[in-house]
């Protein structure tokens, strides 16, 4: 996505961080998600040391000689994210001081994973020594043969045993715990239900108990929209790929899936249930408002104006709405994804060029340990973020296995430095251990583009033929999968 400003991440955020379609939304754009979450306030210009930051070509030409190792690392925050860039540069300098035989050059190419160039760079081996990937890229990168197998270095990865197994397995050959390891996850998100506590209270609903089923969402949306004054009970997308993204998320929420093998798997009772629920809210209850064909920024803006009760979103939307539209943090809360099925997982991590020397792989792992896998440091330096005026308290990146000492200490540290009411995420967090996390489908953006058409028809045509829409969508997805590289 193109970067327009500091907004939350969106579809294909494969952390989840950056999506793979040319949507006009900053949220669906560039590099490191944790930086974007914290990056809504700008601290000013940052002086960047030439030896440790900025503008690498990502050519994979860094080297090791005479005992000294030089590596390029992708996804350095861009200059427009001054605070996060400063954090990253400061961390590089601290790392180099602690490891004088290693030079780290940050690559601030933005977007970090640009669909217009990523595959070409991958094929030509012109990626960084330690290159950034969406979760959805990992399998393709492994099959391309361009990533180094880091299995024999796994003992050097800090807290590897404390990372969520599902996230690590995304970087294994065949997504299996027994497969060779090709990368390290560093951030993730899952979708939930963002809601307006004030509107819940006004509608006679309990703001501490958001709906957990789609039937409850429908009932609550009807009560909220009955407040009048242009207030919408529930909002959803139907344009610019985000409509198909939400259809996918809603399929997962009911225990369904989008793709099975090389075939579409949503032209069934579950897919019909998703559309029937939307059709009922839109046309029977009139709880979704008359303005449709909404794109990514439309719903945060509506929520920020106090005119929207609920919509499906990742927790980082809270900071965006607060910063962009002045909504009080106390009024913005996150519940679990309705449906008691699963939730869409997104995220990102790093992989290693097959051209890397053993010394470069070891140096890269050391840096990732320092920046992403150490509680209290790097992305988990919550005290630093708070002191710099950045928002602290979002339940992401949630990479640790729940209940481990690392997870508990990280949560405790974040809560003690929180600038956002962490209690507003309690319903979301309490449901998380029982949620099945589902990654985005293959060829996600192409599928989402076709899914937009279905969502648009349901939300703009009173008598849309739902079965016909699903059948056409399924045929389109089968064609996409048959033609994928």
- What pLDDT digit, counting tens, does each position of 302-329 carry? 999 999 999 999 999 999 999 999 999 9
- The answer on pLDDT for 41 being more than 50 is no
Q: Are residues 360 and 412 in the same domain?
A: yes
pLDDT of 431-456, one tens digit each? 988 899 999 998 898 999 999 999 99
Region 380-403 average pLDDT: 95
What is the CATH number for 449?
Answer: 3.40.190.10
Establish if 240 belongs to a structural domain.
Answer: yes
Give the pLDDT confidence score for residue 484 in this predicted structure.
76
Least confident of 131-140, 217-226, 403-412, 466-475: 131-140
Tokens of 354: 């097959």
The pLDDT confidence band at residue 340, using thresholds 50, 70 and 90, is confident
Same domain for 96 and 223, yes or no, is no
Residue 321 domain flag: no
- In terms of domains, do 154 and 68 share one? yes
Helices first, then strands: H and E counts in the chain = 17, 13
Q: For the segment 157-191, what is each residue's pLDDT rounded down to a tens digit?
A: 999 999 999 999 999 998 777 899 999 999 999 99
Alpha helices in 72-196 (DSSP H): 82-98, 118-124, 138-144, 165-169
What is residue 116's predicted lDDT score, i.e. its pLDDT? 73
Mean pLDDT (the chain) is: 88
Per-residue model confidence (pLDDT) at position 65? 58
Check whether residue 52 and residue 150 sit in a common domain.
yes
Q: How far apart are CA 110 and CA 118, in angstroms?
A: 11
Statement: residue 472 has pLDDT above 50: yes
- Does residue 33 have a pLDDT over 80? no
State which of 409, 431, 453 marks the end of a domain. Answer: 431
Check whether residue 45 and residue 134 sit in a common domain.
yes
pLDDT at 20 > cutoff 60: no
Is the residue at 332 inside a domain?
A: no
pLDDT at 30 over 50: no
Per-residue pLDDT at 29: 30
Torsion of CA 110, 116, 117, 123, to 10 degrees: 150
Q: Is residue 15 domain-resident?
A: no
Residue 250, domain member (yes or no)? yes
pLDDT for position 118: 84
Is 66 contained in some domain? Answer: yes
Q: At residue 18, does pLDDT exceed 80?
A: no
- Residue 426 near residue 467 (C-beta atoms within 8 A): no
Q: Within this chain, do residues 36 and 180 fall inside the same structural domain, yes or no? A: yes
Domain count, the chain: 2
Q: pLDDT at position 406, please?
A: 97
Do 183 and 85 share a structural domain? yes
465 inside domain: yes
Query: 360 and 450: one domain?
Result: no
| pLDDT tens readout for residues 348-382 | 999 999 999 999 999 999 999 999 999 999 999 99
Which carries the bigger pLDDT value, residue 390 or residue 43?
A: 390
The whole domain housing 278 covers 192-313+442-482
What is the spatial distance between Cα 305 and Cα 326, in angstroms, rounded to a whole number? 9
Same domain, 381 and 461: no
Q: Is residue 139 within 8 Å of 182, Cβ to Cβ?
A: no
**Lowest-pLDDT range, 21-25, 219-223, 416-420?**
21-25
Top-confidence residue, 29 or 404: 404
* Residue 36, in any domain of the structure: yes
In angstroms, rounded to a whole number, what is the distance separating the alpha carbons of residues 232 and 218?
A: 12
Q: Could you tell me the pLDDT band of residue 26, with boundaries at 50, 70 and 90?
A: very low
Shared-domain flag, residues 357 and 388: yes
pLDDT reading at 59 higher than 60: no
> Does 66 share its domain with 180?
yes
Verify that 40 and 165 share a domain, yes or no: yes
């Amino acid at each position: 996505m193109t970067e327009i400003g500091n907004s939350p991440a969106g579809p294909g955020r494969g952390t989840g961080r950056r999506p793979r379609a040319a949507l006009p939304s900053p949220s669906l754009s560039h590099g490191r998600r944790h930086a974007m979450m914290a990056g809504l306030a700008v601290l000013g210009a940052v002086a960047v040391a030439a030896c440790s930051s900025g503008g690498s070509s990502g050519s994979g030409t860094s080297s090791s000689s005479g005992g000294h190792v030089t590596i390029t690392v992708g996804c350095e925050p861009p200059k427009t994210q001054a605070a996060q860039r400063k954090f990253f540069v400061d961390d590089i300098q601290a790392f180099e001081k602690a490891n004088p035989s290693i030079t780290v050059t940050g690559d601030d190419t933005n977007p970090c994973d640009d669909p217009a160039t990523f595959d070409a760079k991958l094929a030509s081996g012109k990626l960084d020594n330690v290159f950034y990937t969406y979760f959805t890229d990992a399998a393709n990168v492994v099959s391309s043969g361009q990533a180094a197998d880091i299995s024999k270095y796994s003992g050097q990865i800090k807290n590897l045993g404390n990372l969520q197994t599902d996230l690590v397995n995304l970087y294994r050959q065949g997504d299996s715990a027994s497969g060779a390891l090709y990368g390290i996850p560093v951030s993730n998100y899952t979708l939930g239900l963002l809601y307006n506590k004030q509107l819940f209270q006004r509608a006679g609903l309990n703001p501490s108990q958001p709906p957990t089923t789609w039937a409850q969402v429908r009932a609550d949306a009807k009560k909220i929209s009955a407040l009048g004054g242009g207030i919408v009970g529930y909002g959803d997308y139907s344009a610019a790929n985000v409509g198909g993204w939400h259809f996918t998320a809603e399929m997962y929420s009911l225990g369904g899936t989008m793709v099975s093998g090389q075939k579409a798997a949503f032209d069934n009772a579950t897919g019909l249930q998703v559309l029937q629920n939307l059709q009922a809210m839109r046309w029977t209850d009139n709880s979704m408002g008359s303005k449709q064909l909404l794109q990514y920024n439309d719903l945060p803006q509506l929520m920020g104006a106090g005119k929207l009760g609920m919509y499906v979103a990742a927790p980082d939307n809270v900071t965006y709405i607060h910063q962009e539209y002045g909504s009080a943090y106390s009024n913005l809360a996150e519940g679990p994804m309705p449906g008691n099925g699963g939730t869409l997982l997104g995220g990102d991590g790093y992989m290693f060029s097959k051209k890397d020397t053993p010394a470069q792989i070891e140096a890269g792992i050391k840096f990732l340990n320092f920046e992403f896998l150490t509680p209290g440091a790097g992305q988990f330096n919550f005290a630093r973020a708070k002191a710099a005026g950045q928002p602290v308290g979002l339940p992401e990146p949630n990479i640790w296995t729940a209940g481990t000492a690392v997870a508990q200490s990280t949560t405790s540290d974040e809560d003690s430095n929180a600038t956002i009411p962490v209690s507003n995420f309690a319903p979301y967090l309490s449901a998380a251990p029982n949620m099945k996390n589902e990654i985005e489908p293959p060829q996600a953006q192409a599928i989402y583009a076709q899914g937009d058409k279905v969502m648009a028809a349901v939300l703009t045509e009173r008598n849309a033929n739902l079965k016909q829409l699903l059948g056409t969508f399924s045929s389109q997805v089968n064609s996409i999968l048959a033609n994928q590289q």
